[in-house]
Amino acid sequence: MAWWYGSRRAAPFHPRTCRDEIIEPMNRRSISLSVAVMALTILVGVALLVPVPYVVMSPGLTENTIGKFDGKEVIGIEGAKTYPTSGRLDLTTVSVTSPGSDVRLPDVLGAWWSAERILLPREVVYPPDQSVQQVEEENQTQMLGSMDSARAVGLAQAGVDAVKVKVEGVTPDAPADGVLQEGDEIVAVNSTAIGSTQAAVDAISTIAPGSRIALEIVRSGSSQEVRVTTAPSPEDAAQSRVGVILSDDFDPPFEVDIELGQEIGGPSAGLMFSLGIYDKLTPGELTGGAHIAGTGTIDVGGRVGEIGGIQQKIAGAREIGATIFLVPAGDCADVGGFADDEEIRLVKVATMDDAVEALESLRAGDESSVEGCDSQ
C-alpha cells in the first residue's frame, strides 16, 4: 500500500538561493560604506589642500648686535675709540608666513597646539590693498628708519651729539614769526640742552602759555640767543607753542654702520641696535658677559615702543640660551606664562635710559632694583 502525505509535492531545497538572499543586503551596506569613506577621504583631502585666510607667526632669527656675521662686525664704528664687549645683545624677530605663501589646515592645527606659534588673520599682517613687493619695501623702509633712530639714540646715550634740531618752517603770525628762520638750529630751551625734536616740543609745551622763553640757536654757523613769548596750543590751551616746524637732522661726527647678515625687516630691532652702539662706545661691558636678548622700537627721543609677537620672540631667545630679555613696557601685559619662567628673566623698559640702568644694575648684582614684567 502506498501512503501519501498530501496532494502537493514538497519544493526542493536550494542552499545557493538562501545564501544569495543573505549576502545581497550585506553587499549593499558595504558599498554604501565604501562610498561614504571615499567621499570623506576626498573632502578631507580637499580641506587639507585649500588655503585658509591666516598666517602663522613663530620664533624667528636672532642676531648678536655686538658680534660678527661672516667675519664682519654687525655694528661697525670708524673714527672714534671703541671698547671691548662681551656676552651677547641679541635682536629678536618673528617668522611670519611669507606674502606669497598659503596656510593650510595642517599648519592651522600645528599652530593651534603649539605654545610658540599663533595664527593671525592674513589681512592684519598683509593688507589686501598692498602687493607683496609693497609689503616687503615697507618692511625694509621701517628697518632703515629704525637704524637711523638707533644710531642717534646710541650715540646720545654715549654722550655724542649726533642730532641737530632744525627749523623747517615758521607759521605766519605765530610767536616765532620774525624771530626764527628756516635753517636755524635749536640747541637749548631756557638753558636746557635738547637733543631731538621731541625734546624741544616737550620743553616748550610744558611751559605755561604766555611765558617768555630763551632759545639758544645756531644761525649761519654763529650761536645766539633769541626770546619768544609762547602762545596756547590749538590742540590744548594749557600747553604752549611758538609756531615752528622742526626736524631731526642726523649728522654724526664719525661713521656708524649697521650691517645685518640676515634679511630682517621692520622697526623692532631699534633698542638692541642702540644698546650695541652704546656698549661699543663706552668703557666696561654692558652685559657683564651675560646672554641678553630683547626687542622694541626706538625713537630719536629714546622712547621704547611696543611690538608684535612678544611671546614668540621670548620663546626664540630662551631656546638659544638667553637668560635676560628686555621687554617694551607696553608689551608686558602680553608676555603670558613667560612672566614666571625661571630660565629667562624679563626686564621692563620704557626708555633707553631704563634699559641701560637695568643692565648696569644686573651687572653689579643689584637685581632688586630691576623692574620685571610681573610688576603690573
Say what the pLDDT of residue 60 is: 85
23 or 235: whose pLDDT is higher? 235
C-alpha 88/C-alpha 11 separation (Å) is 98
Domains of the chain: 59-158+254-369 (3.30.230.10), 163-250 (2.30.42.10)
57 or 315: whose pLDDT is higher? 315
pLDDT bin (cut points 50, 70, 90) of residue 136 is confident
Note the pLDDT tens digit of each residue in 339-362: 888 899 999 999 999 999 999 999
pTM of the model: 0.76
% of the chain with per-residue pLDDT over 90: 51
Average confidence (pLDDT) over 129-156: 83
C-alpha 21/C-alpha 242 separation (Å) is 101
Strand pairing partners for 81? none
227 or 144: whose pLDDT is higher? 227
Say what the pLDDT of residue 273 is: 95
Note the pLDDT tens digit of each residue in 74-108: 999 999 999 999 999 999 998 776 666 665 566 65
Average confidence (pLDDT) over 213-226: 94
pLDDT bin (cut points 50, 70, 90) of residue 227 is very high
Supply φ then ψ for residue 167, to 5 degrees.
-85, 115
Say what the pLDDT of residue 47 is: 45
Average confidence (pLDDT) over 60-68: 91
Average confidence (pLDDT) over 102-130: 65
Average confidence (pLDDT) over 47-75: 78
26-40, 224-238, 341-355, 361-375: least confident range: 26-40
Note the pLDDT tens digit of each residue in 169-206: 999 999 999 999 999 999 999 999 888 888 899 999 99
**pLDDT score of 257 more than 60:** yes
C-alpha 49/C-alpha 43 separation (Å) is 10
Supply φ then ψ for residue 291, to 5 degrees.
-95, 105
Note the pLDDT tens digit of each residue in 143-176: 888 888 899 999 999 999 888 999 999 999 999 9
Q: Which three cell numbers stand for residue 315?
A: 620663546
Distance, first Cα to last Cα, the chain: 114
pLDDT bin (cut points 50, 70, 90) of residue 126 is confident
Average confidence (pLDDT) over 274-293: 96
Query: Which is it for strands 304-305 and 255-258: parallel, antiparallel or unpaired?
Result: unpaired
Strands (E), the chain: 54-64, 68-69, 72-73, 75-78, 88-96, 118-121, 163-170, 185-189, 192-193, 212-219, 222-229, 231-232, 240-241, 244-250, 255-258, 291-294, 297-298, 304-305, 324-328, 345-349
C-alpha 147/C-alpha 81 separation (Å) is 21
